[in-house]
A and B are shown apart, each in its own frame.
Chain A
Amino acid sequence: MKKKLLILLSAVMAFSLILSACGGGDTAKPADPGTKVETPAEGENAGGTPAEGELVTEGTIKATDPSKSPANATARKDTVIVGMPAPSGVFHPQYAEIAYDAYVAETLFASILQVQKDGTYAPSLGNYKVSEDKKTLTFTLEDAKFSDGKPVTAEDVAFTFTLYYDKSYDGPTDAYAYAPIVGAKDYKEGKAQSISGIKVIDPKTLEVTLETPSVLSLDVFGTAGIIPKHVYGAAYKPGDLSKMKDTFTTPVGAGPYKLEKWVAGQEVVFKANEHYFKGAPKVPNLIYKVTTEETNMQLVQTGDTDGEVNISASLDNVEAIKALEFADLTLNPTNGYGYIGLNHKDERFKDKKVRQALVYGLQRQEIVDGVYQGLADVVNVPQSKVSWAYTDEVNKYDYDLEKAKALLDEAGWKEGADGIREKDGKKFKITFTASTPNAVNEVLIPIAKENYAKLGIEFVPDQMDFNALQDKVKKGDFEMVFLAVGLTPNPQTAQGTFRTGGNQNDYFFSNARVDELFKLANEEYDLDKRKAYYKEIYQIANEEVAHIYLYQRRDTLTANARVKGFDVSPYKRFTFDTPVIEIQ
């Protein structure tokens, strides 16, 4: 009996763990309903002192009294400690998947291009040129050395690129989809000893030939942390990368710092790389300390850390950081947005007028303010406002009940006897698939219910665990769903969501012009030309209501004012500032 009970118990325990432990898609903190909602300040507030009572929602809020810095922090003359959630020990630029492993990899490894504040790429370890037919990329390298003193050569770059196309590579990069190199398929299938499309011209020059032009290839090649062949070569056998996994905790790169030690779940300790090609970093010791959301602010307060990347941008937290007086707080729009996805296969949502009515009839500003108390903007395009490709020359869809009603009338949805609209004998009832617990849904559902009732639409929420929701969406088994999505510096990645049959297009959105524009944009390297393509894409995505775009919230970077030189954006993370920061 006891044994049976035990099996049952362990099964129940395991199951309840699964049920209780699932997080939502959006990690927003629930809003405090008692807090007064203030109007967001307009425009840039960088560095300026805001007027009394005005809420600064963007830019840097400077420390008011740096001398209040805790004594133990001020005593660290040659060390900067930055707090972040735990990296998992995958310190390899080709394998790092979670953000915190990527932070460590970015600190240890240098890449040919480096992302700028607006999401464009600038030369770093080298530069690139595109051939006339846009199929060949020529990379040239700066004079640079790895942290062991050996030079960075085109051989190392070729070695790095080759890894992505290996049969046994299981890192997060889908190199072939982004950068289809000539000969990569043969190499993967074991038909060739090397990739014919990668040619080392001389120790400083490398040529890569693609099957088709792809601007996305820059995301693979440009941002790949270059690994030295003389160190990692021994761990690589074509078709067998299992030994590579033993190198994760002993990384050697050409980045600003080298790894001193990693204590799992506690800290990553770096020493300045004296060979760094842009000059040795000014801070000799850098430590990434593992923090959790529960106490990351307290650690800044007690001086255990000099900075923190993961304090969630709620009004309470912003006020608490300001009250420290010695910390600079940078508020940036998060690199992503929240939206309501519509299933375009649904008969009702096939009608553009219905989709537009659903936007006009929804009080998006109220929802966003209710959740984020001013620390988020309503968005109308699927792009971050800091991106070089952003446009605001689109319809703003301000709340307009009458317009929404008129659009539904035009679409043939007439109000029935019970106040619910119907067409061809069918009632307008929307099932809204929502994850729980989720702070946004808590506010969105009651408002949407009321808003849509006014339009004569019955809005029925169906709440579930996030992974269950994701599963439903992947299977196309939904009508309307709330989700949030992350953005990358290259606007081209949005093709996954908006192109017909795209890997993330679970909404069956399809527009011939959008498909064409994405194809054109991917074959173009000129920023101005690409910008025009993306602008048109965003305008169509706005006009056609591919999604109901909701909000872009904020991220924070908190830094003790004794550390100067952080200049971050949603694209350019603090890791890129590590070579230039200084202790005052």
Chain B
Amino acid sequence: MTTQVIRRLLQTIPTLIGVSIVLVLIFHLIPGNFVDSNPTISKERAAELKEMYGLTDPVHIKYLKWVKGVSTGDLGYSIQHKQPVTTIIDRYVWNSVLIAGVVLIFSWTIAIFVGVFSAVRQHSFYDGLITFLVFAVMSLPSFFIGLLAIKFFAVDNRIFPVGGMITTGANYEGWAHIWDVIEHMFLPVIVLTALNVGGLTRYFRTSMLDVIKQDFIRTARAKGLKERTVIFKHALRNALIPAITLLGFEIPGLFAGAMITEKIFNWPGIGSIFLNAINARDYFLMLGYTFFIAFLTIIGNVIADLLYRVADPRVRMK
């Protein structure tokens, strides 16, 4: 198993190198840069600043400098924030992780239950209703249901706060602070879960339908097991195996931030910071953060691979 892990991790190195080359190339090619957007500086000063930030280097030098930094854990310097990129990611990403983590737990739990029930009662009225609801929610744009939710629950009826992460000016400490954050999380979590749960439900439903048609399920029923045991112990376990891969892909999603929802709910996450970085052409923040997400995607993939082998003995360990 250990050799498996090591081999799999070593295999990611060429992928990472490939990704880094592509990213540096893309960001090198995009038009515009941070320095030129300042209208008050002279051409000489602009040239001086570009030199200082390493924006004038040819692409291969840029790449080598950057890779050298990355290998020591330095993702570069954010021109806009005047801080190292890692500081900026650390400053904002955890707020995104908090929301994304809670949404992940809720949407998976709900999707599993709903998916299983609609699979068991395939083609029933209940199944049809779920399918309809799931597609209805999925097809609504997030900014629309976000704003609608704010109007109903925060402005017309003041049940939840309009946005943000804490009550401004309240200075809560300890448990009061935690409760305050939870209260601010309600709306964004509900909206994001509603948007996520749709696709997942379909996924679990299909996967469950595949399993319950198999012979071992008939065998289990023939043994006289209770229906509940058949579904949850025998069928669900097998239906969840393909979901491991899906879970691996959720890892980068945890850190990616939800750009639109963060803006609407005023959530201080990394999504809006990244969006601003793109608009301002904050070169190293764009590059560093995209690479960070690419890295997590690859790692997520490796973890999924390994877990898959653990969960399903049929996958041969070479």
Q: Does A289 contact B (CB under 8 A)?
A: yes
Q: Does B246 contact A (CB under 8 A)?
A: no
Q: Does A287 contact B (CB under 8 A)?
A: yes
Chain B residues, CB < 8 A from A14: 23, 26, 290, 294
A264-304: contact bitstring with B at CB < 8 Å (1 yes, 0 no)? 11110100000000000000010101111011001101101
Chain A residues, CB < 8 A from B82: 90, 95, 170, 245, 248
Q: How far is the CA of A504 from the CA of B39 in the complex (A)?
A: 7
Q: Does B9 contact A (CB under 8 A)?
A: no
Among A269, A299, A470, contact of B162 (Cβ-Cβ < 8 Å): A299
Chain B residues, CB < 8 A from A470: 31-32, 36-37
| Closest B residue by C-beta to A83 | B168
Tell me whether B22 and A7 are in contact (CB under 8 A): yes
Q: Does B247 contact A (CB under 8 A)?
A: no
Chain B residues, CB < 8 A from A301: 155
Tell me whether B15 and A3 are in contact (CB under 8 A): yes
Interface size class of A (residues with CB under 8 A): 35 or more
Tell me whether A290 and B32 are in contact (CB under 8 A): no
Q: Does B130 contact A (CB under 8 A)?
A: no
Chain B residues, CB < 8 A from A263: 166, 268
Interface size class of B (residues with CB under 8 A): 35 or more
Chain A residues, CB < 8 A from B301: 2, 6
| Closest B residue by C-beta to A296 | B266
Among B36, B40, B45, contact of A493 (Cβ-Cβ < 8 Å): B40
Q: How far is the CA of A305 from the CA of B168 in the complex (A)?
A: 9
A235-277: contact bitstring with B at CB < 8 Å (1 yes, 0 no)? 0000000000100100000000000000111110100000000
Chain B residues, CB < 8 A from A174: 40-42, 45
Q: Does B203 contact A (CB under 8 A)?
A: no
List the one stretch of A17-25, A203-211, A455-463 in contact with chain B.
A17-25
Tell me whether A485 and B80 are in contact (CB under 8 A): no
In this complex, the member of B39, B147, B263 whose beta carbon has the largest number of chain A beta carbons within 10 angstroms is: B39
Q: Does B49 contact A (CB under 8 A)?
A: yes
Chain B residues, CB < 8 A from A10: 19, 22-23, 290, 293-294, 297
Q: Does B275 contact A (CB under 8 A)?
A: yes
Q: How far is the CA of A259 from the CA of B30 in the complex (A)?
A: 38
Chain B residues numbered 251-278 whose CB sits less than 8 Å from any CB in chain A: 259, 263-266, 268-269, 272-273, 275, 278
Chain B residues, CB < 8 A from A89: 81, 83, 91
Q: Does B53 contact A (CB under 8 A)?
A: yes
Among A7, A304, A468, contact of B19 (Cβ-Cβ < 8 Å): A7
Tell me whether A88 and B81 are in contact (CB under 8 A): yes
B17-58: contact bitstring with A at CB < 8 Å (1 yes, 0 no)? 011001100100011100011111111111001001100000
With A266-B268, A290-B164 already in contact, the answer to whether A298 and B154 are too (CB < 8 A) is: yes
In this complex, the member of B163, B169, B265 whose beta carbon has the largest number of chain A beta carbons within 10 angstroms is: B169
Tell me whether A11 and B166 are in contact (CB under 8 A): no
Tell me whether B155 and A298 are in contact (CB under 8 A): yes
| Closest B residue by C-beta to A246 | B83
Chain A residues, CB < 8 A from B298: 6
With A22-B279, A173-B40 already in contact, 8 other A-B pairs whose C-beta atoms are closer than 8 Å: A18-B30, A89-B81, A89-B83, A170-B79, A245-B82, A294-B266, A468-B31, A503-B41
* Chain B residues proximal to chain A, CB less than 8 Å: 11, 15, 18-19, 22-23, 26, 30-32, 36-46, 49, 52-53, 79-83, 91-92, 95, 143, 146-147, 150-151, 154-155, 158, 161-166, 168-169, 259, 263-266, 268-269, 272-273, 275, 278-279, 281, 290, 293-294, 297-298, 301
Q: Show 12 residue pairs from A and B whose CB-CB distance is below 8 angstroms, ordered by the A residue.
A: A7-B18, A11-B23, A17-B278, A97-B80, A295-B265, A298-B150, A299-B163, A301-B155, A474-B36, A485-B39, A503-B43, A504-B39
